[in-house]
Every structure is written in C-alpha cells, then in structure tokens.
Amino acid sequence: MSSTLHQILAEEEIINFPEFQKKLAEAASPIPVYKEALSEIKSSLDERFTAGEDIRKLVYGRAWEIDRILVNIWKEFDWPDNKIALIAVGGYGRGELHPCSDIDLLILLDDAVDAEEYHDSISGFLTLLWDINLDIGSSVRTLSECYKEAQSDITIATNLIESRTLSGNDNLHSQMYERVTSEGAWTDKEFFLAKQREQKNRHQKTNNTEYNLEPNLKNSPGGLRDLQTIGWVAKRHFGSTYIRDLVEDGFLTESELDILNKGELYLWSVRYALHMICKRREDRLLFDHQRALAEFFGYEDEEGKLAVEQFMSKYYRIAMTMSEFNDMLLQHFDEAILRADEEQVIVPLNNRFQIHNDFIEVTHENVFDHHPFALMELFVLLAQNQNIQGVRATTIRLVRNNRHKVDEEFRNDIRNTSLFMELMRSPEGISTELKRMTRYGILGPYLPNFGRIIGQMQHDLFHIYTVDAHTMKVIQKCRQFRHNDHREEFPIAHRIVNQLPKIELLYLAALFHDIAKGRGGDHSELGAEDVLEFGEKHHLGKWDTHLIAWLVRNHLLMSMTAQRKDISDPEVIHKFAQQVRDVVHLDYLYVLTIADINATNHTLWNSWRATLMRKLYTDTKRALRRGLENPINKEDRIEQIQHEAMVLLERQGVNDVEVQDLWASIGDDYFLRETAQSIAEHTKAIIEHKDPAVPLVLIRQTSHRVFEGATEIFIYSRDIQHLFAATVATMDQLHLNIQDARIIVTDSGEALNTYTVLSDDNTALSENPEHLNKIKQRLIEELDDPDDYPEIIQRRVPRQMKLFATPTQVNVSNDSVSHQTVLEVVTPDRPGLLARIGGIFSTHNLSVRKAKIASVGERVEDFFFITDENGQAISDPELCQTLQQEICQQLDEHLQLNN
C-alpha cells in the first residue's frame, strides 16, 4: 500500500476512533461495540462498491480499518518486555482484504522468550477476535520456528515474505523477514522453481485452461494467483515492492503495466461482488453466481447473447490476457534468475530466427516489421523443433506488439496459408502450437470466425469449457489417440488414427466443428460453409475440402445415432451407412466423434458409451463392406441368430420343442436386439424357472474389455401394470445408473425386460458374487408382489445432486407402424428420474413397451414407446397434452427441490 493511498484512507476513515473509544469505555462488554464497528465497516464499503467507487480504495480500505481494530484490541492486553509482535501475513500482509477474505495473523516471538509468559494474553486476544466473528487464521511462532517452517514449505515462506507489523516490536519482523528471504531458506533459483511448480500444479487442477465454464478467480490460469506469483518472484529476487517496479527493471513497458493493472482491478471487482453475493468466502464462478454477477454489473440479454454470456466473455478475455503476461514475465524471470550465468549458446535457424539457450527468438527486433509472415513461421518452427523449450520473453513481447499485422492481406498471403498448412501437417506439436497461437493473439485474427468463439460460453448442461477451449481439447485428443498409452482405452481410434491417409484433415475438422456456434442457425451447416472458404484459400484439393466440410456438417451424427437410435436394428445401421457412404468417411467420423465426446466433459465417456460406439462402428463397417445395395434382411438375421442360440442350447441338453414354443410367443424385436449367447442364457433360465409368481432375475457383464461394457439385468415376469415404474424405482434405490432399457412383452403376457446399468461412478458393477446376489434378491423381493408397486414407486430416493435448472421438454407422437406412442423427454439428469417418469405412466395406466435411455452429461434424452391399457397407441389428444404437461411440471418441481 503506497504512502499516498495510506493518507487517502486515513482521511476517509469509516470508524470515528475517539467516539469508538468512548463507546468501549462505557460498554459493559467490548464485544457488541466491536461487532457494531465491523458491521459499519462492511455496510459502508459495500455501499461505496455498489456506487462504483475505486476498488483499490475499498480493498485497501477494509484492511486499513481492520488494522485499527486489531491494534486497538492488541493494546488491551499485557505484553511485557516488548519481545513480541503482531504481524499481518499473506494477502492481508499486502494490505488487501476482500469482504470475506481470511485475516491471516502471525504472533511473532523472540527466540529468547518463554511462550508461557504470554499464554494468557495470546489466548485472550484470539478469543476476543473469535467472539467478534472475525475470520482469522492465526499462528504463534518464534523467529527460529518461522525460519524452519519457511525452509520446508514454500507456501509458508511466501506468506511470511508478504508481511508487515501491525503492533509490537517491529525489529522482530525485520529479523524474521531477513531470515526467511535469506539464501539459507531458499535460494533465488529454488524459490523461483518452487513457485513455477506450484503454479503448474494449480493449473493442472483446473485442466490447464482459463476457459473452464466455472473458473476459479484465484487459481485458474489468468487468475489472481498468477499475478501474485509474478509479485512474489519479483519481490524475492529483485526486491520489487510493487509490480510497477518491473517497469524500471525493464521487464514491463508502461502500456503493459496499464493493461496488467486494469486486469487485476477487474478481477478484484468481480471477487468483491462474488463475496457480497455469496455472503461468504467464494472464489469459484459457479453458474448461479455468474447470473447474479451479470445482473449486478448491469448486463442485459441481447438477441443471440445472454447477459451471463456477455459477462463471462469479458472475464475470459481478461483472464487470457493475464495468462499471457504471466507467461511473458515468468519467461523473463527464467532468463534472469535460472539462466543468467549460463554460457550463451546461439544456434541459427534461418535469417529470422535462432535458438538461444534452447529458447527461440528473433534475430533482430525488426523481423516482424520486415517479414510479417514470420508471425506464422514462429509456430511452425516450434512444432518442427521439439528440442526448443519455449519462446524468449523479448520475442513474446514483439509478437504482442505486431499481431495487428494479421489482417486481410496477411490472411491472403500464400506464404502464410502454406505455413499454416505446414503446421497442421507437422508430426508433433500441433495442439501445443495452436494453443500458443491463441494465447499470443495470432490464431483469432488469422481465422476471424475462430476469433469470435474465443471466450464464448456454452451455457448448457454438459460442456465444461468455452467453445475455443473445447476445440483445442478435441484436437489434443485426436493427437493423443496416436500414442500407445491410449491403445488399451481407445483401441479402434488408436488403430484408425495411425492409418488415416491425411491426418491433417481430421485436425482441421476438429478446428472447424464448432466454429459457427453462437452465430445463429445450424452451427454444423455454417461451419461447413467456413470450411469451403478455408479450403479454397489454403489450396486444398476438392475431395479433401469436401471431406472436412462433411465431417463438420455431420460431427454429431454418430453420437446421436448411437444414443438415440436402436443400433441393434439392421435398418438403423443401413440408414447410417447410407449417410456415411464409405469406410474412409466412417473412420474419420468415428475418431472425431470419440475425441469430441471426451473433450466435452470427462463424465460423458463411460464404458457403456464406449460399447455403443464400437458396435455402431463395427456394424456399419460390415454393412459398407457388404455393399449398400445389399442390406441385411431382418428375417435372415433372425433365422441366423435363432440357429446360433439353438446350437448353444442343444449342447446344454435343452428340449428344442420347449424352446420353439417359447420363441413362438416372442416378437422379432427380441431376436434383433439380443446376442445368441444372451438368448440361449435367457431361454434356458426361463424354461427351468418353475414359479411364475416369482420374477426371474439374471445378471451378467456385457463385455470383459477393460474400458468397455456394462452390467445387464434381465427380468422375466408377468407383464403387470406398473412393472416398469416399480423396476426402475428399485434400481434407483440400489444406486444403479440405467443406461438402456429393452422392454419385450410376449403374446402370452410375459415381460422379458433387459436393463443395462452402470454403478454411480459410471463403471460396470463389481463382479463380486455376494454384491450381485444382493441386487438380484432385492429385485425379486420388490417385484414379486404387484400390490407393493405403488409404495415402491413413491419411495423417496436417498440421493440428491446439484442441478443445472433447464426446463424439461416433452414431445409426443404416434408411430403408425408399431401402433405405439413415442414420448421423448429431455431434462436434467438426477437420481430417481426414471422412477418419477414411470410413476406418471402408472398414474395414467400406461405400459412401457420399449425405452431408449441416453445420458448426455447431466442431461438425459429418453425415448419411451408406450401403449394404453388396451395395448394401443394413445389416441386421445387431451391425454397426450395432459401427459406432456404433467411430466414437465413434476420433473421441474423435482428439479427445484433437488437444488
């Protein structure tokens, strides 16, 4: 805190201390007086913040007022011999306090002092602070203890460096500061390396991107901790008191300092408002908080862009700028601290660039003036020379200062278009350099439509990154599939990627697949149009360009087919194969789809989805090789599957007459959906099942692949009203996550229902026989008495989860072929969802004949094929409307209760 600001704060004091002292003297207890003073400080500062006062005066002003309170309390206790001091440390030591920040204190003792001498006073002091509800973090240490703790913990060392005396013996603070900043505690190099590691670990916890959809104001890249790291290193090595001192040291220019200061003040303002809104310490910009902050800062919804999206877009762009400065300054410090004594080794690359001690730099400061294309060449050289560790700080600054040269003329220059394609064809470093181009402000201007999605939110249920960050994750995932450490988890993608004829076409499809989001209209179609323009400008062949455009236009086709369609149906596979056309398109689309899902949200990819995608790929590939003019015949498929199942049954001695009698009552759908192995297992168990009043329950794994499969639960019972609702309610109470439901009803009135389930953590159930038997017995007990079904359906689900409040959508239509009503439900996922939907069906005496369950992150897109009590489609329009309204109302009310 500067002396000028100190004087201003003194002139604008909130608490009139003479009056305050008088109140204390007259009060029976000091606690209410202190509480009143703290309340007055809070309300005054909050009012001034809302009125738009300079955030610095408020953040420093709070610390100034708390200083006075603490000093006053400290002086109420007896501190003999003056061998003790009250020290502010950490953020409070910098003189900064946000509304709900911790007040970190160190009670510092001389080594010669017996701590017991001060025990009563220290205890009384801290107790009074707690009694007046100050959020303090406190420690009591001697000088030697401070030195020892600082040596072993970089966080403690940093807190002690940022410290100041509030009251007591200031000489103790000077001794402590001298010792913890000495070479014996941490050398300059050790301290810098430790802060680098600390920052790297912090960024990894936030997925190494500024663009998480719920970022952390302090710890995400480009957050306040990144700025503080610069200050800590500068203070430790250069003795800089303020960031502005780095201008005099030659590390920052005045204009850069201005941008840095404005960015910090913006982050301070958001953090101050966040604390006010939450009424507690909170640094995460959670979705609910984002809306409240957008409203607080005066943003309003506009056509095509929500208020919250405008607010977050500004945050992301400032965070990216702060991250860029952090990169540049830490690189400066790396050169000044770690490499200052190194022998200078220069390796020329060409007339424009050279490698200087493993870092690339320009050969002279006018390179970008004379050769603007070098702005693109830089990243190509980085990708092609994996021994280069990074970019020298002076070159980073020159890139910043010359990026305005990336204009229409630059974009049309064949040298730049050729260099960009050279980068996309590079064997290594593509995703790294594209991210670097984004961070240095080159990729946005070069691809203006990409520039429009930088920092663009995806305010929905399952994306966890902004559009540009997600795009970079997709490219990175495509690159990772090449490596052997991904072969086991992604065997098909690994094989395909290493065999694609032109892998750069995959990367370009990834780059463009979401480029048109937020523009209005179909982003897949608009993105495909962008590809055609890009292909012409970059001199791609027509076939290559049209393949990329097709991939962008259809990048959702494969995932939607797997999730929404019955891929056991040969007609579904044939139609999908017609859309794909050939194996080359299928290969590219499969890899792009797998990368897209995994880069959207890590919770989207689970073992069951892996199984679906593999099945769709292999069945489609088989159909393409057979020829689109020779689609598989359903009757032939059923005949073949029955023959294979009968062979298995005959080996086990099952009577074929009983088998044929059973199969004669089962519709075609069953034989199209199940494998021969499953049919044989089901048939044998049904024939041997002697008590029709007791449900038959079979549990088996769908796959023994490490990263694929799920657990199938087969239930054979009488087709009783409300069976589906009671079954899914019981499974939900068993913490089973239903992925798919296949409902088959025989001509004789039995139900053959197969549920594909995962555990709560989206993995196949444990194969522990005892665990599986408990599930089996629970299902039998719950389903053996239909009179219990209403109670089972209404039973409260013992789990809750935080939900994104998006209204439920329900669509109802009739299928003239199957004579069933198709009901689609799109709603946030939550425990008990299927049970609640099943309960609504039961209320209206509706039966579920088939269900397609699809979870997309935290959203479900479920399809139910239902009939009335006569086995017919719902013909009453009023009932359809009532059903639609009731599902929406109940699910949205349930959503509010869970939040």
Reduce the secondary structure of 367-435 to three states and give it as a string: HHHHCCCHHHHHHHHHHHCCCCCEECHHHHHHHHHHHHHCCHHHHHCHHHHHHHHHHHCCCCCHHHHHH
pLDDT score for 724: 86
pLDDT score for 389: 93
Residue 703 has pLDDT above 70, yes or no: no
* Measured distance CA(319)–CA(486) in Å, rounded: 32
The pLDDT tens digits for 710-755 are 889 999 998 887 888 888 888 888 888 888 888 888 888 888 999 9
Residue 690 has pLDDT above 90, yes or no: no
pLDDT top residue among 455 and 529: 529
Tokens representing 552 are 């962008």
User: What are the Cα distances from residue 741, in Å, to 84, 123, 483, 865?
Assistant: 71, 64, 36, 11
Mean pLDDT of 427-432: 94
Lowest mean pLDDT among 156-165, 448-457, 648-657, 807-816: 807-816
**Percentage of residues in the chain having pLDDT higher than 70:** 93
User: What are the Cα distances from residue 497, in Å, to 430, 482, 584, 595, 706?
Assistant: 15, 6, 11, 11, 21
CB neighbours of residue 838 within 10 Å:
25
The pLDDT tens digits for 118-177 are 999 999 999 999 999 999 999 999 999 999 999 999 999 999 999 999 999 999 999 999
Name the pLDDT band for 475 (thresholds 50, 70, 90): very high
* Measured distance CA(318)–CA(323) in Å, rounded: 9
Q: 3-state DSSP call for residue 335?
A: helix
pLDDT score for 858: 67
Q: 3-state secondary structure string, 337-363?
A: HHCCCCCCCEEECCCCEEEECCEEEEC
Mean pLDDT of 309-330: 91
Dihedral angle, C-alpha 722, 724, 726, 727, nearest 10 °: 160
In the 8-state DSSP scheme, what is residue 547? Answer: H
* Measured distance CA(195)–CA(226) in Å, rounded: 10
pLDDT score for 803: 44
The pLDDT tens digits for 853-873 are 776 656 788 888 888 888 888
User: Residue 755 is inside which H or E element, if any?
Assistant: strand 750-758
Mean pLDDT of 269-292: 92
Residue 4 has pLDDT above 70, yes or no: no
pLDDT top residue among 441 and 303: 441
Name the pLDDT band for 404 (thresholds 50, 70, 90): very high
pLDDT score for 548: 98
pLDDT score for 61: 93
User: What are the Cα distances from residue 268, in Å, to 261, 271, 275, 287, 780?
Assistant: 10, 5, 11, 19, 59
Mean pLDDT of 689-699: 90
pLDDT score for 855: 67
Q: Which amino acid is at 692?
A: P
Write down the residue that tokens 């032939």 correspond to. 636
- Residue 241: φ, ψ to 5°: -80, -40
Which region, left, alpha or beta, applies to residue 99 given φ > 0 means left and ψ of -120 to 50 means alpha? alpha
pLDDT score for 212: 73
User: What are the Cα distances from residue 511, in Å, to 392, 493, 885?
Assistant: 27, 18, 41
Residue 795 has pLDDT above 70, yes or no: no
User: What are the Cα distances from residue 851, in Å, to 563, 755, 868, 885?
Assistant: 12, 10, 15, 20
Most confident of 232-246, 395-409, 557-571: 395-409
* Measured distance CA(561)–CA(563) in Å, rounded: 6
Residue 801 has pLDDT above 60, yes or no: no
Mean pLDDT of 833-844: 86
Write down the residue that tokens 């930088």 correspond to. 454
The pLDDT tens digits for 322-345 are 998 999 999 988 888 888 788 899
pLDDT score for 860: 80
Q: 3-state secondary structure string, 693-723?
A: CCCEEEEEECCCCCCCCCEEEEEEEECCCCH
Q: Which amino acid is at 425?
A: R
* Measured distance CA(126)–CA(136) in Å, rounded: 9
* Measured distance CA(588)–CA(579) in Å, rounded: 14
The DSSP code sequence of 569-611 is SHHHHHHHHHHH-SHHHHHHHHHHHHHHHHHH-TTT--HHHHH
Mean pLDDT of the chain: 88
Most confident of 138-152, 448-462, 691-705, 876-890: 138-152
Name the pLDDT band for 802 (thresholds 50, 70, 90): very low
Strands (E), 39-170: 84-89, 103-109, 136-142, 163-168
Q: Which of 828, 85, 21 is nearest to 461 (CA)?
A: 828
The pLDDT tens digits for 241-273 are 778 888 887 888 898 889 999 999 999 999 999
- Residue 214: φ, ψ to 5°: -125, 70
pLDDT top residue among 559 and 80: 559
Lowest mean pLDDT among 203-212, 427-436, 607-616, 809-818: 203-212
Residue 84 has pLDDT above 70, yes or no: yes
The pLDDT tens digits for 25-65 are 999 999 999 999 999 999 999 999 999 999 999 999 999 99
Strand-pair category, 859-867 with 809-815: unpaired
Residue 8 has pLDDT above 80, yes or no: no
Write down the residue that tokens 């990772």 correspond to. 480
Residue 876 has pLDDT above 80, yes or no: yes
Q: Which of 255, 260, 266 is nearest to 242 (CA)?
A: 260
CB neighbours of residue 186 within 10 Å:
22
Which residues, 6 or more positions from 68, have their beta carbon under 8 angstroms from its beta carbon? 13, 15, 17
Q: 3-state DSSP call for residue 665?
A: coil
pLDDT score for 10: 57
